[in-house]
C-alpha cells in the first residue's frame, strides 16, 4: 500500500466524525460534504509527519474550513426585506444517499439548527466544538485566533441563546392542533387580534438560511411583530405533523417548500421556525393533516 493510500485509509476512519462536526457547523449536508472534501485535499497536500493526533488535526482543519464558509455565507446575505415569511419556490431535487440520510437523522433537530443559524460564526464554532464535541477551549482559541477566555465567553453566549430558545411544549396533539388551526385561520383571514390571542407575548419567529434568502427576517420577536408578519399570510399552508408535533407545511404540487415548526406551551405559540432548506426538509418526518 502506497503512502497516499495509507493516508486515505486513515482519513476514511475519521470521515463520519468530520461530517458530523461540519453538519452541526453548517446545517447543510451538501456543504458538510464539501468541507470534509476540502479537509482531505488539505491533508493530501500537507506534511503530517509530525502530527501525533490525526483526528484532532483533521477536526481543526474542518472547523477552520467551516468557519470560512460561515463567514462567506454571512457576508453574502443582504439585509432582511422586512418580516414577511416567504412563500418561495425552492430548488433541490434529487435523492439522498443512506449515509447522508443517517446524518440528517442524527440527534440534532431542525429547530436547534435554526437557532444555531442565528449565531455569529465564532459563537457557533465555539459552541459546537466545545458543547457538542468536548474540544478544549485552548484548541478552539487557536482556531479563532482569540484567547481561551474569549472562546469560553463565545460558547457561553451561544449556550444562553440556545437554552433561551428551548421551551417545554404541550404534549397533547389535540391541543397543539387547536392552537395551530386557530393561528392559520387568523393568519389567512388577516385577523390581527386573533393572532395576538394565540401568540405568547415573548414569541420568537426564526428562519433558516434558505428562508432568509427568500426574503424572511432571520429573527422576529414579540407577539405584535410576529402577528404583523403573518397577518394575511400562510393562505396555502396546511396543518401537518412535523417530527411528531403539529405544525404546518406549504407544499405546492405535493412537494414541501416551507415547513412551519410550532412550539406551543400553555396553549400559546411561543416559537415558530421557518424551514426552507431542501436538505433539511428531506430530513423531516412530515405527515399532512386534513384541514
Of 134-143, 149-158, 205-214, least confident by mean pLDDT is 205-214
Q: How confident is the model at residue 35 (pLDDT cuts 50, 70, 90)?
A: very high
Three-state DSSP class for residue 213: helix
Mean pLDDT in residue range 57-83: 77
Task: Tell me how far apart the alpha carbons of residues 20 and 35 are, in angstroms, rounded to a whole number.
Answer: 11
User: What are the structural domains, with CATH classification, of the chain?
Assistant: 3-164 (1.20.140), 173-288 (3.10.450.50)
pLDDT for residue 191: 93
Q: Which of 25, 12, 3 is nearest to 55 (CA)?
A: 12
pLDDT for residue 83: 37
Does the pLDDT of residue 260 top 90, yes or no?
yes
Does the pLDDT of residue 286 top 50, yes or no?
yes
Q: Which of 48, 57, 27 is nearest to 283 (CA)?
A: 27
Q: Which of 254, 249, 252 is nearest to 286 (CA)?
A: 249
Q: For the chain, what percentages of helix, strand and coil (3-state, to nearest 5) are there?
A: 55, 15, 30
**At CA 284, angle to CA 281 and CA 287, rounded to 5?**
105
Mean pLDDT in residue range 46-59: 86
Given CA atoms 39, 91, 241, 166 in this order, what sign does their dihedral have? positive
Alpha carbon distances (Å) from 187 to 29, 232, 274: 33, 5, 15
Packing angle, helices 3-26 and 29-45, rounded to 10: 150
Mean pLDDT in residue range 237-253: 89
pLDDT for residue 87: 35
Computed over every residue of the chain, the mean pLDDT equals 82
Kindly write down the DSSP assignment for every residue of 128-190, as one continuous string.
IIIIIH---HHHHHHHHTS-HHHHHHHHHHHHHHHHHT-------HHHHHHHHHHHHHHHHHT
Amino acid at each position: 500500500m502506497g503512502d497516499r493510500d495509507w493516508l486515505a485509509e486513515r482519513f476514511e476512519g475519521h470521515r463520519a466524525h468530520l461530517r458530523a462536526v461540519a453538519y452541526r457547523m453548517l446545517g447543510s449536508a451538501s456543504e458538510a460534504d464539501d468541507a470534509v472534501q476540502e479537509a482531505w485535499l488539505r491533508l493530501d497536500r500537507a506534511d503530517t509527519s509530525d502530527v501525533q493526533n490525526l483526528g484532532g488535526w483533521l477536526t481543526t482543519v474542518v472547523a477552520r474550513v467551516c468557519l470560512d464558509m460561515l463567514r462567506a455565507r454571512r457576508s453574502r446575505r443582504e439585509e432582511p426585506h422586512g418580516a414577511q415569511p416567504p412563500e418561495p419556490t425552492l430548488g433541490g431535487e434529487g435523492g439522498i444517499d443512506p449515509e447522508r440520510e443517517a446524518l440528517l437523522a442524527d440527534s440534532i433537530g431542525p429547530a436547534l439548527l435554526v437557532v444555531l443559524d442565528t449565531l455569529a460564526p465564532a459563537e457557533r464554532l465555539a459552541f459546537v466544538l466545545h458543547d457538542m464535541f468536548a474540544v478544549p477551549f485552548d484548541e478552539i482559541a487557536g482556531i479563532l485566533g482569540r484567547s481561551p477566555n474569549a472562546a469560553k465567553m463565545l460558547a457561553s453566549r451561544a449556550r444562553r441563546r440556545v437554552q433561551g430558545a428551548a421551551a417545554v411544549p404541550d404534549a397533547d396533539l389535540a391541543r397543539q392542533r387547536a392552537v395551530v388551526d386557530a393561528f392559520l385561520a387568523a393568519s389567512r383571514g388577516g385577523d390581527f387580534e386573533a393572532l395576538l390571542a394565540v401568540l405568547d407575548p415573548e414569541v420568537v419567529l426564526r428562519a433558516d438560511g434558505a428562508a432568509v434568502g427568500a426574503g424572511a427576517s432571520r429573527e422576529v420577536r414579540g407577539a405584535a411583530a410576529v402577528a404583523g408578519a403573518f397577518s394575511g399570510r400562510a393562505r396555502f399552508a396546511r396543518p401537518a405533523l412535523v417530527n411528531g408535533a403539529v405544525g404546518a407545511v406549504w407544499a405546492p404540487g405535493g412537494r414541501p417548500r416551507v415547513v412551519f415548526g410550532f412550539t406551543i406551551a400553555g396553549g400559546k405559540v411561543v416559537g415558530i421556525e421557518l424551514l426552507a432548506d431542501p436538505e433539511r426538509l428531506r430530513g423531516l418526518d412530515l405527515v399532512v393533516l386534513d384541514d
